[in-house]
């Protein structure tokens, strides 16, 4: 289960594009808290604090206590809008989560023990099918990440969602099959372009020599 981060926000009075631009000009990022059948709360966050959270692990699946004007709101970050040129954050959506509320989140998947993978040692290729898995659960049961060991896998082997060891309180949104997360593929044959070029050059040289010999024979025959 993932932990709970904390973040401080300041209330803002007005909604709309003009108000959001004014908030950004003042050096803050406009944000909104919505959900749980309550009125939305307009607020703003400090850019450095937001970037610190964004660069952390599992930002979108990490519960957060957002403190606004002395009140604490348990939220999940749901969306961050970025500037298309500067890539700076422009707006943040936080979803308020109540007790028993189920949410759908993307959980990162990490793979370890490559050095203990028999298939990779034999020249196999690690083929990661999914870097994330979408699951549905209550906020208190959100896994921070999924870790799978590649130890002992051979060429042709695969790990599926059933190998992830998810608790019964965490359900993948794909329920109609035991989908693949990673496979150990057979090694691919890579052609040596340099060797091919050399072979072609030697073939062309041999053809040239044959042509010169034929020209010489023709000339000799003409003089006779």
Query: pLDDT (tens digit, 9 = 90+) per residue, 82-132?
Result: 999 999 999 999 999 887 788 999 999 999 999 999 999 999 999 999 999
**pLDDT exceeds 50 at position 221:** no
Average pLDDT over residues 169-196: 82
CA 183 – CA 131 distance, rounded (Å):
13
Short-list 102, 59, 94, CA closest to 75: 94
Q: What is the per-residue pLDDT for 65?
A: 93
- In whole angstroms, give the CA distance from residue 18 to residue 21: 5
Least trusted range by pLDDT, from 107-111, 122-126, 176-180, 200-204: 200-204
Angstrom distance (rounded) from CA 75 to CA 52: 17
Over the stretch 136-152, which tens digit does the pLDDT of each residue have? 999 888 988 999 999 99
Residue position matching structure tokens 């359900």? 171
Residue 205 pLDDT: 64
Question: Across 57-66, 99-108, 172-181, which has the greatest mean pLDDT?
Answer: 172-181
Determine the Cα–Cα distance for residues 87 and 30; give it in Å rounded to an integer. Answer: 16
The answer to whether 212 and 220 are in contact (CB under 8 A) is: no
Give the C-alpha separation, 211 to 156, whole Å.
Answer: 51
What confidence score (pLDDT) does residue 98 get? 82
Q: What is the reported pLDDT for 224?
A: 39
Give the max Cα distance, the chain. Answer: 113
204-211's contacts with Cβ under 8 Å and 24+ in sequence apart are none
The predicted model gives 54-69 an average pLDDT of 87
Q: Please write the tens of the pLDDT for every residue from 10-49.
A: 999 888 889 999 999 999 999 999 998 899 999 999 999 9
Share of the chain above pLDDT 90, in %: 65
Task: Report the C-alpha gap between 54 and 182 in whole angstroms.
Answer: 27
Nearest to 126 by CA among 181, 166, 84, 87: 181
181 in Cβ contact with 164 (< 8 Å): yes
Helix (H, G, I), strand (E, B) or coil at 160: strand
- 8: tokens are 């401080």
- Is-contact 32 17, C-beta < 8 A? no
Q: Tell which wins on pLDDT, 209 or 174.
A: 174
Arithmetic mean of pLDDT, 57-63:
83
At 13 the pLDDT is 87
Band the pLDDT of 188: cuts 50, 70, 90. confident
Could you give the residue ranges of the DSSP H alpha helices within the chain?
A: 17-25, 47-54, 118-121, 193-223
Q: Which residues contact 41 (CB under 8 A, 6 or more apart)?
A: 11, 32, 33, 34, 68, 73
Which two three-digit tokens encode residue 143? 């896994």
For the chain, the average pLDDT equals: 86
* Complete domains list, the chain, with CATH: 4-96 (2.40.240.10), 103-185 (2.170.120.20)
pLDDT for residue 222: 43
For residue 191, what are its two tokens?
Answer: 């052609």
């Amino acid at each position: 289960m993932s932990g709970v981060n904390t973040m401080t926000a300041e209330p803002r009075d007005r909604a709309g594009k003009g108000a959001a631009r004014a908030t950004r000009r003042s050096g803050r990022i406009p944000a909104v808290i919505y959900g749980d059948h309550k009125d939305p709360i307009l607020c703003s966050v400090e850019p450095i604090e937001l970037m610190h959270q964004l660069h952390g692990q599992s930002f979108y699946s990490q519960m957060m206590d957002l403190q606004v004007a002395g009140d604490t709101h348990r939220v999940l970050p749901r969306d961050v809008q970025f500037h298309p040129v500067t890539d700076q954050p422009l707006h943040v959506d936080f979803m308020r989560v109540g007790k028993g509320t189920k949410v759908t989140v993307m959980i990162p998947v990490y793979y370890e023990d490559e050095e203990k993978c028999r298939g990779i040692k034999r020249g196999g290729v690690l083929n990661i099918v999914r870097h994330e898995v979408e699951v549905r659960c209550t906020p208190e049961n959100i896994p921070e990440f999924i870790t799978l060991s590649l130890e002992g896998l051979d060429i042709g082997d695969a790990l599926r969602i059933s190998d992830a060891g998810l608790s019964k309180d965490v359900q993948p949104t794909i329920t109609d099959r035991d989908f693949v997360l990673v496979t150990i593929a057979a090694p691919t044959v890579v052609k040596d372009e340099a060797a091919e070029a050399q072979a072609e050059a030697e073939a062309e040289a041999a053809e040239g020599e044959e042509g010169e010999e034929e020209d010489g024979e023709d000339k000799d025959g003409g003089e006779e």
